[in-house]
Structure 1
Amino acid sequence: MRDVATHERLEAGSPDGRLPLHAVLDAFHAWVRRPSARQRVELRAAFERLVSANGIAGAYLDVEASPLPPLALGAGSLRRRPAARRRDLQAVELRGDAGRVRLGRLVVDPDAEREDPGRRRGAEQAIRAIELALDATWARAEAHRAATRLVALDAATRAIAGVLDLDTVLQLIVDRVRDLVEAEYAALGIVDQEGQIDRFITSGISEAERERIGDPPSGRGLLGLIVRERRSLLVPDIAADPRHHGFPPHHPPMHSFIGVPVLVRGSSVGNLYLTNRRGGVAFTTTDLELVEAFSRHAGIAIESARLHERIGQLAIVEERERIGRDLHDGIIQGIYAVALSLEEAAESVESEPDDARARIDRAIESLNLSIRDIRNFIFGLRPELLEQAGLVGGLAALADEFRLNTMVDIELEAAGVHELELPESKTLELLSIAREALSNVARHARASRATIHAHRIPEGIRLVVADNGVGFAAGRRFGPSHQGLRNMRERAAGLGGIIDIQSEARRGTRIIVIVPHVETADPGTTRMEEADA
């Protein structure tokens, strides 16, 4: 209360009627929001008024407290930075956040030549007022930075959450965590089952620099400590830490350091390393906590990408096994039977030439059927869709490919869909449904003719793939184990559409798909038409 009363008595020293403390506080806040030359001039004027109001000769302030911008201010007899050898000055370290944060340093000239207790009290009041104003400014800036970082953390975790390619997600993690704490360099070390660094992904170092540095780290020093102990580490100065192992030649200089293990269900999948906070300041415990929070999301993203990779590998193995069974049970057995028939024909060519000729004719017919079956397999195994313009171009490419590989006559009819500007993702899904339907025709229908009809209807787009093959009984049900039909159903559902399969024994099959479409009328305007189920 004594400080406030003193400032109230000196209120006349502030031209706008504010207390000097309030004026300095407002000037600090304005300078932090926009550290321009104008704000610096206004801050200096408020600082000088505070010094003068407390009856001291001069003061010099150094601010060194992230997230506050660096600042040096002088007033009165200490407009310039004072020499360190002056013993008539009073130097005080300013602290905030209940003494936990160093805010800077204040040097005061109390004019010791005048033995006045009031001046000594004025110096104490000035120190206290500046510390209070600086502490409040730092707290506001830190709260703003914390809120900003929470937004950045949310954006960073969202960026890596939906990525399933392992290499892509690893690089994204390194790039995002580097930006999150404003580090110059970041790295992600992936460890193997023995705890050794198996992969080392970096951000902030160019390819040329990496080549000059040479092999990635082996896991000694500070990096190895995190690998072994699986705990976070915050080091203000790497060179001064006795656990530091040193840098290889051509390595960029590094000073402050953060290391955080990436854990999933208690097991380590890697470690995040960050060095050199931008601006030349050391990392803080807030930075460390932010990286730790991000590392938990990073671990989940890495595990998801690895799981997706394993599922893909298992799917490939299962598909290979299925192909092997189909080839063995069908085509290979047929070719083996042809070989036996030709052997018998060779034995009877002289004694029974007519029978041998008949066997050879049947062998030729069987080989032609085997060639047809092999072509059908080729069509079903080619996953790529030929690059064409739009839905109609893609369907035409599919029809040409089907005709070439199966020798089955096929007709394409498209009405009202040429002018539709479908999203590429929707076009590819429709083409994938058509390919799956044609693959079923090639493998199972034994058809001589097939058709593709794509029409624009009020409900959206109607795609029909039909054949004149063997069909199947009307009462037959296909469960989820039928992969081709399941794929088509899932794709149609993903487009918000419906699928209907119509077939009769010896009268062919029709697969009908209806999906809504989004037609772009003008930039920024869309119309969604729902399919009527």
Structure 2
Amino acid sequence: MSSDPESGALAPPSVAGHHGQTPYGQWRSNAQLESLVTRAQHESLDAVLRRIIAFACRMTNARYGAIGVVDDKNSLIQFVQVGVDAETEREIGSPPSGIGILGMLNRHAAALRLHDCKDSPEFTGFPPHHPVMTTLMSVPILVDNVHFGNLYLTNKEGGADFTQADEELVVGFSRDIGITVENALVSEDSHRRARWLIACADLAQDLIKPSTEGGGDSLHTVAERAMRESGADLVAIGLPTPESGMVYCAAASGDGAGAILLRKIAIQPELIETFSDNRQAILLGSLNDVFLTPEPRNALRRALYGTTLVAPLQSAAENRGMLVLARKAENGTFNSTDVEMVEVYATYVAFALELAGIHRKRQREAVLGDRERIALNLHDLIIQRIFAMGISVQSLRRFTMEAPALELISSVTHELDATIHELRDTVYQLESLSAGSESVNGRLLSAIQQATDPLDMASSIRLTGLVDRCIKENLVVHVLAVLSEGLSNVARHSGATSVEVSVKVARGRIIVVIADDGHGFDNVVRHSGLDNLRQRARSCHGRFTVTSSPGRGTRLVWSAPTALTAP
């Protein structure tokens, strides 16, 4: 409950000239009350509530005052107080949770006066550093005939009890402030909607920017903007993955974001089913109602997150993920405006992601056209010329019988044959990439690009060998998972500035190498990411090794036989 209830003190009205009026009628004629009602249309709800409390304290000579706002279940969701200085408020800590006397008053919306609140059987005690409070008066506040909350006044001046006249005064006041609060709610709701719509317009433009124009970190901007407009303490964006029941957290902002950022997380099956039938945002009681993976659940549980709002990123074409917003328990819940505008925001983001995908597809088609032209030139011009050169070099054998010369001719011919073989391999890869995004090479490149795009580091990608021809679909799934998990480890733990990725098929094996220039480590520590890679190697009859040293980065090598059937 700030010491001195509001600047611009509200002076009591003069009683003279008001004979025949009720006590509240005298107050109602006060010009400062009229100002309170008028200003409600231009101030935040919190500021309006503080002015209301300050006015009530002066009417009744109460030292402390507060308003507790309740939800449709009469649970306390907001607590605004006047009279307690800022330092004491910090020492007290979290606001009341709505149990004890406050819980009883919230459940029974009726006026109440107590000589000493500690005498009530509902009293559960004060937290440390809380000022001593004795006399109490509570009056419900109705907004459009709906219970909005309660006005609490304590410690009447001089230690006296609140009187019947005080109660009549505040009850009359509560009827008028219901209209005042309604005006403030309408004004705040309008401003919040306007801010959300501005955010939608800004982010729709940002998401479709090419990365060269500053759009590379757009998903992080989406998360931060949602956190700012919603008042959430944590916002995360989960993108679909090839693995059922999993999302990839491409962006996160807020307390505990590091526990989920750039990692795959299992989500509740009920949530997936809900979004398959319904595209509306849903309000949940806890983050544990969203995430299943133990490690982030435990880390976020320590942050004491409560109410969680989840909206699907659903465009007309497909599901593009989910937007998750959470508030800590002491910061209340999301209201109906939050739910409605997060739905709108998520829809804008989904369509912007779709437009960005179309833009990337066009860029890809242009690149594939260039690759097809290069492949044709390599095959029709370069390889034919090298082949002709090889024949010419071989023809030199008839002009000499000296062993060194013949050995040199054989060596050059062998090198030319090897060059032709590598060029044909390159031509095949270019042709397979040009044939469509469903090729194995294309899927591997897409997976690598998806994992490295959010990273603030340079990346090098190399595919070698006839990947499309040599590995089956059930092994491809493991390779895609290895790339995703390995690059996720680089992002979370390495502190690297660059990463090199190599996928090679040679001598009946597929070999995946991920090397970074991060800080490295002395001993290979066990954690779920590396354990998953080891398990995948074992299930494919393959091998997995990690080499690292401080200051010299880390190198992951995962391999498996292409001839064996992966589970």
Given the two structures, how large is their TM-score scaled by the length of structure 2? 0.46
Tell which structure's C-alpha radius of gyration is larger: 1
Higher relative contact order (CA 8 A, sep 6+): 2
